[in-house]
Structure 1
Amino acid sequence: MEPEEHLVSLKVMRLTRPTLTSPLPVTSDSKDLPGNLLNEILQKRPYISTRNGNPIHRPVFIAPANETQQTVSNVGVKIDLQTTSQRLALAVNPPTPVLGPDETVNVVIHHEVKEVGTHILVCEVTYQTPSCVPMSFRKFFKIQVLKPLDVKTKFYNAESDDVYLEAQVQNITSGPICLEKVALDDQIYLMGPDYGDIRLSLIELPNFVVLEKPFTFKCKLANNSERTIDLILFLEDREGMTWCGISGKKLEPLTPRTSQELEFKAIPLLPGLRLVSGIKLLDTFLKRTYPYEELGQVFVIVNDTDNVAKSM
């Protein structure tokens, strides 16, 4: 069975601005075989003018094209958008009483895309033939919406209980994107870090220390449990750093929800940026060990400022 023929056609296009076209005129020399025939024809065209007797072209206004075939009446256009989750009514055009040959009904729609995946544009046209017979047809246009941006996030938990968020926004399309606004959604839920029954955090640490000279720093030891904890402190040397103190020392019992300050002394053996690490705490009841390998960083310099000032 042959498909039904309609008196109107439907075209869906991206809305584009009118453009200027510059056709290249074909000219000829008077000594050539055509003589001045081509030049005379070009001068009669609306986009050709002459300068110093020579034909030059002028830009021509080109608009997007539409078309119809015959005179019809009561032309209506309805446009819906079907996504993976919903169907949206984009436009319902009031019926046009009469549509003659070469006339068009233009419907401009605008929709902010908020979903990725397959979108189907459903266009329905209704009209009446010259004999007042109602006619209608639908056309479907499939649009694939790809993800334009990729966002990666990282969370950093500081010892001060602050949480830092790093967001990386990447353009994964083939063209440039202009970001008008970047906002953080109120808030986002993040589970706090699990420190276990005890927590050791820095409260005082120098930024610069002198090579092969002892320096001290302080930490806060907190008991987060509901029981009294007995701990044994172990100090292990790391590359570029050695401890001044007794390893395997038993600390004072720490009652529930309380804390105490601990003072440590170490000697840097190599210059540069060094990690303060190598501290371990052993819970004597649970036989559980809590290692602390990255408490902080210090920068080790070769000479202190006093020696530098005396040598000058």
Structure 2
Amino acid sequence: MLALPQSFGDIFLGETFSCYISLCNIAPIELAQVGLKVEVQTQLARETLSDSSVAGSAIARFASQQTLDKIIEYDLKDIGIHILICSALYTDSQGERKYFRKFFKFQVNNPLSMRSKTHALSLNNEVLIETH
């Protein structure tokens, strides 16, 4: 089970996106080789933020109701839609390797916006530039 809120609120370029991710075994059985991979995808790139699913770093035994908690931080360098991708990998009681993914979209906005207007002044052939 993975859960995050549907809305992250206002997020701006230059901020650090930080979230707490909790992976919980809600099954009544013990799982094995449990790992969590967290990535962020933008229009320009895809970056791995955390990966405990690789050999050697997975949790060997994951009891019922046990949790795997991570705090993820990512410096926001791009404006636009970002997708947080959380993948859980595990081996079930029959020895079958399984995984599931959850996607969480959020918008990164520009904190500053500038607009300019030019006005020609007819008296002295001067130009006035107005910036908001």
- Residues in 1 aligned to 2:22 and 2:42: alpha-carbon distance in whole angstroms: 29
Counterpart of 1:110? Answer: 73
> Shift of residue 68 of structure 1?
2.2
The yes-or-no answer on 1:68 pairing with 2:25 is yes
Counterpart of 2:44? Answer: 85
Kindly report the root-mean-square deviation, in angstroms, between the aligned alpha carbons of the 2 structures.
2.9
For structure 1, the 5+ residue unaligned runs are 1-8, 17-63, 155-277, 279-291, 295-312
- Residues in 1 aligned to 2:47 and 2:22: alpha-carbon distance in whole angstroms: 27
For structure 2, the 5+ residue unaligned runs are 6-17, 118-122, 127-132
- Residues in 2 aligned to 1:293 and 1:119: alpha-carbon distance in whole angstroms: 48
The yes-or-no answer on 1:144 pairing with 2:107 is yes
**Which one has a larger percent strand, Structure 1 or Structure 2?**
2
Which protein shows a greater Rg? 1
Counterpart of 1:119? Answer: 82
> Shift of residue 109 of structure 1?
1.0
- How does 1:40-79 map onto structure 2 within 5 Å? 67-70=24-27, 71-79=30-38
For residue 77 of structure 1, what is the amino acid of its counterpart?
L
> Shift of residue 151 of structure 1?
4.1
> Shift of residue 126 of structure 1?
0.7
> Shift of residue 108 of structure 1?
1.5
The count of aligned residue pairs is 103
- Residues in 2 aligned to 1:128 and 1:139: alpha-carbon distance in whole angstroms: 18
> Shift of residue 142 of structure 1?
0.9
- Residues in 1 aligned to 2:22 and 2:48: alpha-carbon distance in whole angstroms: 26
Q: Deviations over 1:54-91 (max 9, x none)?
A: xxxxxxxxxx9864223111101111111011111111
For residue 80 of structure 1, what is the amino acid of its counterpart?
E
- Residues in 2 aligned to 1:136 and 1:65: alpha-carbon distance in whole angstroms: 16
Q: 8 Å contact 2:38–2:48 — kept in the other structure? A: yes
Identical counterparts, % of pairs: 28
Residue number among 3, 15, 19 corresponding to 1:11 in the alignment: 3
**Which one has a larger percent helix, Structure 1 or Structure 2?**
1
Calculate the TM-score normalised by the size of structure 2.
0.65
For residue 145 of structure 1, what is the amino acid of its counterpart?
V
Compare relative contact order (CA 8 Å, sep 6+) and give the higher one, 1 or 2.
2
- Change in CA separation of 1:103 and 1:87 when aligned onto 2, cut-off 3 Å: same
Calculate the TM-score normalised by the size of structure 1.
0.29
For residue 101 of structure 1, what is the amino acid of its counterpart?
S
Counterpart of 1:34? Answer: none
- Residues in 2 aligned to 1:91 and 1:11: alpha-carbon distance in whole angstroms: 17
- Change in CA separation of 1:152 and 1:130 when aligned onto 2, cut-off 3 Å: same
- Change in CA separation of 1:134 and 1:82 when aligned onto 2, cut-off 3 Å: same
- Change in CA separation of 1:127 and 1:99 when aligned onto 2, cut-off 3 Å: same
- Change in CA separation of 1:95 and 1:143 when aligned onto 2, cut-off 3 Å: same
- Residues in 2 aligned to 1:136 and 1:145: alpha-carbon distance in whole angstroms: 29
